[in-house]
Amino acid sequence: MIFKNIPEIKYEGPKSKNPLAFKFYDSDKIVLGKKMSEHLEFALSWWHTLGANGVDMFGQGTADKSLGKELNTMEHAKAKVDAGFEFMQKLGIKYFCFHDVDLVPEDADINVTNQRLDEISDYILEKMQGTDIKCLWGTANMFSNPRFMNGAGSTNDVEVYAFAAAQIKKALDITVKLGGRGYVFWGGREGYETLLNTDVKFELDNIARLMHMAVDYGRKIGFKDFYIEPKPKEPMKHQYDYDAATAIGFLKQYGLDKDFKLNIEANHATLAGHTFEHDLRIASINGMLGSIDANQGDPHLGWDTDEFPFDVYSATYCMLEVLKNGGLTGGFNFDAKTRRPSNTWEDTFEAYILGMDTFALGLLNAEKIIKDGRIEEFIKQKYASFNSTTVGKKVLNNEINLEELASYAANKKYCDKPCSGKQEYLESIINQILFGN
């Protein structure tokens, strides 16, 4: 056992003062006909949880994640597997997400790295036996290595492009081997700083070619769910997958929309100037809401702070979108890390408890809002003129043209009934539902 002082984390209810217990996440509780754990398929992020040590641009790491081993060795890679599984089991988390280089140290020779990936995935498979833990999604890190400084799919250099392809192929193989449900493309370096050195169309065409190759190969090895994770900026100034709408446009433009869904990250949506729920809605109405990177940003900081979610309003609006979407094919990956001074393993356990409790609250609140029905009814009534009048029905059925509508308006002479949006009243309904009992 690695985390000797951490017990199995249990549900103790909202009154509990035990820091190592769930207050709201009650895995077997039935919500809208399904267990909480079925609504909320949480995943551990290998990179933050088992890798990130608090290092930032101004200072060294503050957390010791060596697990008593020498960093960048296979012994350490295996210790991370042991720690990860114990961590997930103690929290009742059933999934994990990884980048290739989160699992093993990368060697200069890609063949050596690939051998290490074979070895570690054998080890993970062994660990998986006798547990109900599975891989949610895998991905290739095509942003850390200096070779990707000009991009991976968007690189200027065909050799770099080939190495990106090789990493994608191997990450797909490992994901399939671990029974993973999805594969995510996050284009950290797929973007640019200045048009003075960039052929945007060339880069976009090449990214799409690489994605088509990934899909073709994925289909050959029985792989199903591909995702793009939009992000507007950081590390690049302009990232091509700016937000949900942009990524959907790209996928449609290049004929990839049947093969991809989106993995929406809260902090990326807010960096794009949207609310989290906005990007979820845009993905959902396009049939492309597949998965969520659960975290939150800080309104006072302009970058991807990847905080564990504690904003209950945001989680509530998120869960309303997820329920309307009929759930997710992917799950909720905690792409989140503790703050730099929260530097112990206990802090990391408490962070997951916070995140899981926040989403449990979001789910419970969303259920209440749906059952209350006032918000949905208001929205329905707001557009009722299109369903309750002859002219409205004609518009919806595409049975009227511009001239006919113009003569309808001319006959009416006046248009004097704009309806109130009643935002403040609706917001007070939300507060009443959240805090009224």
Does residue 98 interact with ligand XLS by CB under 6 A?
no
Q: Of 335, 337, 351, 369, which lies in the binding site for ligand XLS, with binding defined by CB under 6 A? A: 335
> Crossing angle of helices 345-372/423-435, nearest 10°?
120
Q: Of 102, 293, 321, 350, which lies in the binding site for Ni ion, with binding defined by CB under 5 A? A: 293
Does residue 139 interact with ligand XLS by CB under 6 A?
yes
48, 99, 268, 274: the active-site residue: 99
Does residue 337 interact with ligand XLS by CB under 6 A?
no
Indicate the residue among 36 and 266 with the shorter CB distance to ligand XLS.
Answer: 266
SS3 216: helix
Indicate the residue among 281 and 337 with the shorter CB distance to ligand XLS.
Answer: 337
| Residue 426: alpha-carbon gap to chain centroid | 28
Indicate the residue among 184 and 369 with the shorter CB distance to ligand XLS.
Answer: 184
Does residue 279 interact with ligand XLS by CB under 6 A?
no
The pair of three-digit structure tokens given for residue 325, joined into one six-digit string:
């979407």
Check the CA dihedral 113-216-245-163 and report its sign.
positive
Does residue 42 interact with ligand XLS by CB under 6 A?
no
Shortest reach from residue 293's CB to Ni ion, in Å: 4
Q: Binding mask 353-392 vs Ni ion (x if CB under 5 A, - otherwise)? A: ----------------------------------------
Does residue 293 interact with ligand XLS by CB under 6 A?
yes
Q: Binding mask 138-157 vs Ni ion (x if CB under 5 A, - otherwise)? A: --------------------
Tell me the site size for ligand XLS, rule CB under 6 A: 10
Does residue 304 interact with Ni ion by CB under 5 A?
yes
Does residue 231 interact with ligand XLS by CB under 6 A?
yes
Does residue 41 interact with ligand XLS by CB under 6 A?
no
Measured in residues, the chain has a length of 437
- Name residues contacting Ni ion, limited to 318-347 (CB under 5 A): 335
Beta-carbon neighbour count of residue 132 at 10 Å? 10
26, 100, 102, 279: the active-site residue: 102
Please name the amino acid found at residue 86.
E
Rounded distance, CA 29 to CA 314, Å? 22
Quick check: is 102 catalytic? Answer: yes
| Residue 34: alpha-carbon gap to chain centroid | 22
Quick check: is 99 catalytic? Answer: yes
Cα–Cα–Cα angle for 378, 360, 267, nearest 5°?
Answer: 80
Q: Is 390 exposed, middle or buried (0-12, 13-18, 19+ CB in 10 A)?
A: exposed
Shortest reach from residue 37's CB to ligand XLS, in Å: 23
Shortest reach from residue 45's CB to Ni ion, in Å: 8
The pair of three-digit structure tokens given for residue 305, joined into one six-digit string:
């702070």
Please count the helices (runs of H) and the strands (runs of E) in the chain.
Answer: 17, 14
Q: Of 265, 277, 279, 350, which lies in the binding site for ligand XLS, with binding defined by CB under 6 A? A: 265
Indicate the residue among 173 and 265 with the shorter CB distance to ligand XLS.
Answer: 265
Chain residue at closest Cβ approach to ligand XLS:
186
CA distances in angstroms from 246 to 28, 202, 241, 282, 369, listed in the order given: 38, 17, 6, 10, 30
- 67 φ/ψ sector (left φ>0, alpha ψ -120 to 50, else beta): left
- Name residues contacting ligand XLS, limited to 379-408 (CB under 6 A): none
Shortest reach from residue 267's CB to ligand XLS, in Å: 8
SS3 328: coil
Contact 15, 307 (CB under 8 A): no
Contact 75, 69 (CB under 8 A): yes
Rounded distance, CA 113 to CA 105, Å? 7
Using CB under 6 A, list all residues that contact ligand XLS.
99, 139, 184, 186, 229, 231, 265, 293, 304, 335
Using CB under 5 A, list all residues that contact Ni ion.
265, 293, 304, 335
Active site residues: 99, 102
